[in-house]
Amino acid sequence: MKTTSELQIEYDTLLSEYKTLKKLIDDAEAAKKRLGELKPTSIFNKAPGLLAKVKQELEDSKYPIFEVVNGPGSGTNRIIDVNEKWISIKHDGNYTPTRYKRDTGWKERSRDGYFHIDHIKALEIWEKFQAKRIKNENTRRN
């Protein structure tokens, strides 16, 4: 039979182990919750996590701002590409780009020019952006 002091030591040891394990479980649950907030969009959770949101913001920030939209559909429109025929503009977030004719600013497949942009302004912004990007690449090489 164990003495009172031996039982007290055993009890204190078990109690200490219990507290340590309880703290580990609480920390793991908090980490699991935070992981759920961070993880990218999954099949079960349609809302994008913080990783997906910041990744999208990072991708959007690589392009020059064309205009800031207030009101319904508010946000930022960015010029993502200009080629010989088209100016491609994309709204920040996970949206598809819209193409506008480079020479008129009319939206692709538009017959009346109702959906149009200021194509001259867009080309000026794009040229400044390209010049700045080339300048930055040259300074990095030196």
Give the pLDDT confidence of 55-99 residue by residue, as tens digits: 889 999 999 999 998 887 788 999 999 999 999 999 998 889 999
Residue 39: pLDDT band with limits 50, 70, 90: confident
Residue 133: pLDDT band with limits 50, 70, 90: confident
SS (H, E, C) the chain: CCCHHHHHHHHHHHHHHHHHHHHHHHHHHHHHHHHHHHCCCCCCCCCCCHHHHHHHHHHHCCCCEEEEECCCCCEEEEEEEECCCEEEEEECCCCCCEEEECCCCEECCCCCCCCECCHHHHHHHHHHHHHHHHHHHHHHHC
* pLDDT (0 to 100) of residue 114: 76
